[in-house]
Amino acid sequence: MNENQAVAALSALSQETRLRMVRYLVTKGGEGAAAGEVAKAAGASSSRASFHLNALSQAGLITATRASRSIIYRVDFAAMGGLIGYLIEDCCQNDPTIVSCCAPLTKQQG
Amino acid sequence: MNENQAVAALSALSQETRLRMVRYLVTKGGEGAAAGEVAKAAGASSSRASFHLNALSQAGLITATRASRSIIYRVDFAAMGGLIGYLIEDCCQNDPTIVSCCAPLTKQQG
DNA sequence: TCAACAATTCAAGAGATATTGAATTATGAA
DNA sequence: TTCATAATTCAATATCTCTTGAATTGTTGA
């Protein structure tokens, strides 16, 4: 993960419809979901959904694979993890005696 | 953390100068850094830095406290952790038998 | 081949955001 | 009070992004 990739990923996530899509796909895990299903979950028209799914794909946050008439989208969990790691890199200069500031960054996950 | 807060935080982070600022402040931990120091670290003019620091503050990602002539900015680590938690909420529907997709989200932290 | 379904592409208009340099506010020291 | 430092505010410009609806592409089954 470099700066350009991180800005691209964060730009992609900083939009209501796309954030809903990613969060929906996160819950779906490796199974993923078809474009139409994601569009419905995010409350978007098909053209809008397509536009935003393409943006997420360009940013490297999701992948697309065709399955018959549908196109299945899945979160790229390595990319998501890479982004999170980039955001909190060298937290508190990696000082192991300081826990108070870095602790909240690892606790909220579930 | 709700949807509006998350979009605001991600919008704030999705800009080169602001991302640099936050990453710099993350390494500074509870100590924080003065506006001028952050501006220098991010390679921004003072007016640009002020504009972007205000955006990060409005988004709830950093706090500002005056110390003599300087204004010290610090990352709000609870807000950062809340954002990360919101992004990966209910990953894989919290199925404990699935590790492959959620693992990368908790490993990259340094 | 034809009809139906799933999804993408396109163009135009509306709205939001970033940059610049000059001016202004706030603080501290002589 | 006066000067220097630290930082913010302002207005104008330029640029990017989102939405909409119609048209198009790709796939499947009758």
For residue B71 the two structure tokens come to 């204004």
B77: domain range?
3-107
Residue B50 CB in 7 A reach of strand D = yes
In chain A, how many domains are there?
1
Residues near A83 by beta carbon (within 8 Å), at least 6 away in sequence? A1, A6, A9, A10, A61
Residue B10 has pLDDT above 50, yes or no: yes
- A94 vs A96: CA distance, rounded Å: 6
When pLDDT is cut at 50, 70 and 90, the band that residue A109 belongs to is: low
Average pLDDT over residues A25-36: 97
Q: Is A109 on the interface with B (CB under 8 A)?
A: yes
Look at strands B33-34 and B62-67 and give their pairing. unpaired
Look at strands B62-67 and B70-75 and give their pairing. antiparallel
Q: Name the H helices within A1-110.
A: 3-13, 16-28, 35-42, 46-58, 77-87, 103-107
Residue A108 has pLDDT above 90, yes or no: no
Residue type present at position A98: I
Q: Which site among B3, B4, B10 would you substitute to test the A interface, given the most A Cβ atoms closer than 10 Å to its Cβ?
A: B10
Residue type present at position B107: K
DSSP secondary structure letter of residue B93? G
Q: Is A104 on the interface with B (CB under 8 A)?
A: yes
CATH of the domain at B89: 1.10.10.10
Average pLDDT over residues A54-74: 97
- B81 vs B75: CA distance, rounded Å: 11
Among the partner-chain residues A27, A87, A105, the one whose CB lies closest to the CB of B93 is A27
